């Protein structure tokens, strides 16, 4: 009996690590980013968008420096060889994408913003098809449609007829414009050099993003009042730096590396589900039947799309 069971246990652990572990990382990324949307909307009047984005990544870079700098020792040749890729990752994932998100949240509710964010898996698929030659399978399309239906159930409180009253505003369009930027980042991040681990990569793109944001942050300071030093903005920056920046980007980058950008993209549809749970936990909102139906539908769609075989 022992000889039969001995090889089974490592195989079971390997199977769990290969299948469940990447999606656990990607789910954590969506959870951390759900809090980012709530915080970004909450402090919109206290901190202009570029100021919030600049300090978010500046604090993240400072926190990561003691761990990341030793890992980069002796890797100057690698950094020079992949300088173009690292610049694009810092520009798209750190500087441009989140600046557009925070700008859009000044003019649209977080609910609308999260709904626009649900379009990102489609842009990830499009960029992956254009750059990597990946094709979309019918099962993946069905998963996208099913999870998007769950999002609509939550957003409209179970009344799909309310979609007739939905209107785009300038903030929605700004958030929507950020989605192809995230699609490009998600496909490019899989090309990171093997010599750079996940933490070193997050540190590098944080530094690049802060450098790119600095002149625009200075210009914004001339147009908007300087953020007041208060516990609310300080807490927002610390949360976003630790969880939505370091934690989420570490989980997302590693998850994309393990399962590819197309499959990873579908897990973004978990973000509205987590947003609903956070609203219940932090704002005291009640859980209704439509919440449970919507979250279950989202999870079913994510599973359906993520378990589909990738086609080339």
CB 271 within 8 A of CB 34: yes
Q: Is the pTM of this model over 0.85?
A: no
Burial of 167 (0-12, 13-18, 19+ CB in 10 A): exposed
Residues of the chain with pLDDT under 70: 1-18, 111-112, 115-116, 119, 151, 154-169, 225-229, 276, 279-280, 282-287, 291, 295, 302, 305-312
């Amino acid at each position: 009996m022992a000889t039969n069971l001995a090889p089974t246990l490592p195989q079971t652990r390997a199977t769990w690590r290969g299948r469940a572990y990447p999606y656990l990382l990607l789910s954590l990324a969506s959870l951390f980013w759900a809090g980012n949307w709530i915080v970004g909307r909450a402090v919109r009047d206290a901190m202009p968008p570029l100021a919030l984005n600049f300090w978010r990544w500046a604090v993240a870079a400072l926190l990561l420096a003691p761990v990341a700098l030793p890992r980069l020792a002796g890797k100057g040749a690698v950094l020079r060889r992949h300088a173009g890729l690292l610049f694009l990752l810092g520009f798209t994932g750190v500087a441009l994408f989140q600046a557009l998100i925070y700008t859009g949240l000044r003019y649209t509710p977080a609910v609308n913003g999260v709904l626009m964010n649900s379009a990102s898996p489609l842009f990830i698929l499009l960029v992956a098809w254009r750059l990597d030659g990946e094709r979309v399978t019918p099962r993946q399309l069905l998963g996208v449609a099913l999870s998007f239906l769950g999002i609509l159930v939550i957003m409209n409180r179970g009344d799909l007829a309310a979609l007739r009253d939905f209107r785009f505003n300038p903030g929605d369009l700004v958030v929507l414009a950020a989605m192809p930027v995230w699609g490009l980042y998600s496909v490019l991040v899989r090309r990171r050099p093997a010599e750079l681990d996940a933490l070193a990569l997050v540190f590098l793109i944080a530094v690049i993003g802060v450098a790119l944001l600095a002149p625009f942050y200075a210009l914004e300071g001339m147009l908007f009042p300087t953020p007041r030093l208060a516990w609310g903005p300080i807490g927002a920056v610390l949360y976003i730096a630790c969880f939505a920046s370091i934690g989420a980007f570490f989980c997302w980058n590693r998850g994309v590396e393990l399962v590819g950008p197309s499959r990873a993209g579908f897990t973004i549809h978990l973000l509205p589900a987590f947003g609903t749970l956070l609203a219940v936990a932090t704002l005291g909102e009640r859980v209704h039947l439509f919440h449970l139906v919507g979250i279950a539908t989202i999870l079913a769609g994510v599973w359906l799309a993520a378990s589909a075989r990738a086609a080339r």
